[in-house]
Structure 1
């Protein structure tokens, strides 16, 4: 990009109507929703409903509310500095923190990609009869999504994701509405698999809330998508526009999480059905239960909804994770270049990161997917345990020296953020005590 474009990005946007400004900002929030509404929703939320009825729904929504500032600091930071949180970490804490962050994220992101891919493959096999094995289908899906994101970049990803988000939102809401009459609306039903105040319920809560609405790493990816949107448009969206875009995606993720809990409570918990452990078996189980309970039409709706959810997630994470690792790499190799002028997608570093993470995910698919439920619980717990650290980094970056004092978050959002950090820390310590000491 020519040097003069950097000054354009750093300048305030030209005058335009309020509606046009907010419409132009839409995109990263939808990508946030596309990445967040994945395995945590289709698998964990549905399973929570199947085992606990609506008993855990309040905790899930509370977790979504509590984590809001930690996620919002991603697009917020871009709106006031023009840079992503990766660059914010480097300028606030130094390169060592960025390096440690990237090293931790590489195996975690590969595990998440593998989990999303195998779940998507399982849903595909439940909708259309396939002769290939689920891991093979998962590999094909990974390859197709990689090709699409690498060739199309942010602009194509944004367009495809918006189409998928509309489909998954409509079908998921319809499926949840169909399940509503079957739900036992007792606050915490006696038929739950374990009492509310028990070690088993606490461990389940940690596993479910670990990726609800998503891993806090998504805040970093969201900041990179906001940066890509700014570059694509040649101007930076202000904080108000970023907030509206983010809120749409965030609230949408919360609503659909509730929908999947209701679906699990209505078609599985009400019939006392134990969820299957495997991704393929669980997907087939949910769809067949809808078909048997509410008719053929409902199975089709649920199948399309769940598959679209997972395909959207796979597509967005196969752009977001390589983008995040590439940005981390660039902090060590291209520090002198203004971050806003970089084109992350389509370059050699991005391709290497995408292929590397995909190959690692494929290895995991063929070696570590014996017990899908145990595997997913492990991923959720790891995500939960590192949440306080990432939330703290986001908070300190948004309030750090790279942000002008007058533009820093309000006292309310900062107090909210500290409450989230304290709560996540206490829950993480509580989990370690219950799991390994008690």
Structure 2
């Protein structure tokens, strides 16, 4: 019986790991490490709060796909064409910035891994990276993405935990730490925009919940196994809470090895990637440099491919639903749309990267802030959709209350941030 359960689990395994890979990328490697380096543990509460209060809205992506047998994007269409168009506009407004932020970080780690500094520019590395990501998806589509993530995710998980416990054993470079700083909540504080950016992609943007519903459906089609709601949610929960627990690990690396010292994380993508790798090797040992470089690049590479796939897949579905012919069952038309959107996303992201140059922090902060501002709209739509499922598939009372708290949390901080921007 146990062997059979294990086989079933592996048949459903995939969407949750894809989610974890997407989350661990920029929000963990970049934002969590920066939070620890600049503020010690003063923003740990924000990281934990965002992970807990945003959980229901991501879980609803898997829940809705498993129960309704369609994606959240189809659900938005059922709520009204206005909601579908709004989601399409949100996707259009965020996809270039988010892909650019993820791509810039990934290119930096690629540059470090192969020692390309002085050989080719970071711009050329970025072009090569984007071309590779698009080629993999054009050739292998979901199957290639699914298999890649399972390998690189396990490598980074092992190395991150090793670095975490090694650093924990050594102790902080400077103390004492501040566990809460009320001044950060003041909208006039220069740190407030970073607080919003940190929570915007912690663990990732709420509008990306639709991707998980698409990946759930793609996994069913690829495996040929009709998984139950319980099996789908179990697989997603594993991926989600692994990513949530890793966020403080990255924060600790920044807090213990940089906070209170004269070290500063670099702005440029290649230099920043080098600083992150140095944090790991300082904790584990110089012998681990190649292992860490490969693991960090691998998880960012997986994130980059997942972002390309997620935006192309979601934009493709929006187009299918709003187009007059409604090509829901025309697979060849869907593939062509996917390919076109994939190329458009890549070119648009490259334009954004060229615009921001080496200002990696500004690019990441802008992308994450945009994601946080649109989060309440998507969160409310997800909640409304799952409450319309058949009674036995709806979330329980605990999840409902957590959803309401999450809506208050997302809406409150978004309104305060808007006030800080315009008043």
Q: Same fold (TM over 0.5)?
A: yes
SS in 1 for 2:107: helix
Query: Hey, what does 1:365 align to over in structure 2?
Result: 353
User: Normalization by structure 2: what TM-score?
Assistant: 0.91
The question of 1:113 aligning with 2:99 is answered yes
Rounded to whole Å, the distance in 1 between the matches of 2:175 and 2:233 is 33
Change (3 A) 1:135 1:72: same
Output aligned runs, 1:44-83, within 5 Å: 44-83=31-70
Change (3 A) 1:53 1:399: same
Query: Hey, what does 2:224 align to over in structure 1?
Result: 234
Query: Hey, what does 2:171 align to over in structure 1?
Result: 182
Q: Does the 8 Å CA contact 1:52/1:189 hold for their aligned counterparts?
A: no
Query: Hey, what does 1:429 align to over in structure 2?
Result: 415
Q: Does the 8 Å CA contact 2:253/2:279 hold for their aligned counterparts?
A: no
The question of 1:347 aligning with 2:335 is answered yes
Spell out, residue by residue over 1:115-140, the C-alpha distance to the aligned partner (whole angstroms, 9 max, x if none).
11111111122232211111211111
Output aligned runs, 1:315-330, within 5 Å: 315-330=305-320
Change (3 A) 1:23 1:285: closer
* Partner of residue 221 from structure 1, selected from 201, 211, 229: 211
SS in 2 for 1:54: coil
Rounded to whole Å, the distance in 1 between the matches of 2:220 and 2:155 is 26
Return the offset for 1:235.
Answer: 4.1
Query: Hey, what does 1:9 align to over in structure 2?
Result: none
Query: Hey, what does 1:415 align to over in structure 2?
Result: 401
Spell out, residue by residue over 1:309-359, the C-alpha distance to the aligned partner (whole angstroms, 9 max, x if none).
21110011111110010011111238767x6x6658981111001011111
Rounded to whole Å, the distance in 2 between the matches of 1:77 and 1:394 is 9
Rounded to whole Å, the distance in 1 between the matches of 2:114 and 2:163 is 19
CA RMSD, Structure 1 to Structure 2 (Å): 2.4
Q: Does the 8 Å CA contact 2:43/2:179 hold for their aligned counterparts?
A: no
Change (3 A) 1:85 1:200: same
* Partner of residue 88 from structure 2, selected from 102, 117, 131: 102
Rounded to whole Å, the distance in 2 between the matches of 1:69 and 1:127 is 37
Change (3 A) 1:233 1:299: closer
Q: Does the 8 Å CA contact 2:90/2:374 hold for their aligned counterparts?
A: no
Spell out, residue by residue over 1:44-96, the C-alpha distance to the aligned partner (whole angstroms, 9 max, x if none).
111101001122123202210111100000010011111000101111x2223
Rounded to whole Å, the distance in 1 between the matches of 2:265 and 2:35 is 10
Return the offset for 1:155.
Answer: 1.7
Rounded to whole Å, the distance in 1 between the matches of 2:373 and 2:158 is 33
Rounded to whole Å, the distance in 2 between the matches of 1:345 and 1:260 is 42
Q: Does the 8 Å CA contact 1:35/1:317 hold for their aligned counterparts?
A: yes
Query: Hey, what does 2:292 align to over in structure 1?
Result: 302
Query: Hey, what does 1:38 align to over in structure 2?
Result: 25
User: Normalization by structure 1: what TM-score?
Assistant: 0.88
Change (3 A) 1:344 1:382: farther
Q: Does the 8 Å CA contact 1:175/1:301 hold for their aligned counterparts?
A: no
Structure 1: any 5+ residue segments left out of the alignment? Answer: 1-15
Query: Hey, what does 2:384 align to over in structure 1?
Result: 396
Rounded to whole Å, the distance in 2 between the matches of 1:94 and 1:424 is 23
Rounded to whole Å, the distance in 2 between the matches of 1:215 and 1:406 is 28
Query: Hey, what does 1:24 align to over in structure 2?
Result: 11
